[in-house]
Amino acid sequence: MVATSTLLRRPRPYIIPAGGSSSVGVLGYVNAAFELADQIDAGAVPQPQRIYLSLGSMGTTAGLAIGLALAGIPAEIQAVRVVETRFGSMEKLSTLVDNTLRRLRGMNVSIPDIDAMKHITIRQEFFGRQYGEFTQSGVEAVDAAREAADVRLDGTYSGKALSALLSDAQRGELADKNILFWNTHNSRDVDALAQGVDYRSLPRAFHRYFEKDVQPLDPGA
């Protein structure tokens, strides 16, 4: 009875979903949209007509869409899907946006009614065969970013997003438009954190990423 009583007095744990894309995690990118608005107002960057980014657990897209709408920036968001549709879809994105707006209004009742989904397009054609598997266009985009601007991208997420931008540019869709590529790739070197860690201590679902042969399109192969 004592053990049961002690357990019941503990606070309920907060479950963090994959990618941290909860209504709490999304708030970070709502704030990021306002940082962009400040940069535009300061003349540091022009106001973009279109923004390209990768769509994984959808937190970045949801947060930017809400923040841009609240900041009055009517930019198109080209969200390039890099996960299976059961993880990233307009329906799931809409739910995440609604939950985040509900949380925001719970903190500030003056948050206006907005249509944060209005300017979002989910791009399907750059996903490839499966999550984590590089595509030829994605690898070429990674190489192009490194050679042209010494910017590091990855083949799973940001490379596929940039390949969509480059494809649209080659078709002439972006002429005379201000385009912003939102690089979600971590710029910090975290290799030291993984040293000495046995991958078998991770959940079994991740083991195959360490045990399979390196994919043919991996630049490091």
Map tokens 């993984």 to a residue: 194
Give the Cβ contact number of residue 163 at 10 Å.
27
pLDDT on residue 206: 82
pLDDT at residue 67 in the model:
98
What are the residues facing 54 on neighbouring strands?
A: 80
Give the largest Cα separation in the chain, rounded: 72
For residue 69, give the nearest of 24, 36, 106 by alpha carbon. Answer: 36
CB contact at 8 A, 117 and 147: no
Residue 202: predicted pLDDT:
87
Q: Which residues contact 48 (CB under 8 A, 6 or more apart)?
A: 73, 75, 178, 179, 180
DSSP letter at 41 equals H
pLDDT at site 214: 61
* CA-based end-to-end distance of the chain: 58
Q: Over the chain (221 residues), what is each successive 10-residue block's mean pLDDT?
A: 53 82 95 98 97 97 98 97 96 97 96 96 96 94 96 94 98 96 86 86 85 69 47
pLDDT value of position 221: 47
pTM: 0.87
- What's the rounded Cα separation, in Å, for the pair 152 and 163? 14
Task: Write the DSSP symbol of residue 108.
Answer: -
Domains recognised in the chain with CATH numbers:
17-184+197-211 (3.40.50.1100)
Question: From the centroid of its chain, how far is CA 203?
Answer: 23
Paired sense of beta strands 120-123 and 76-81, if any: parallel
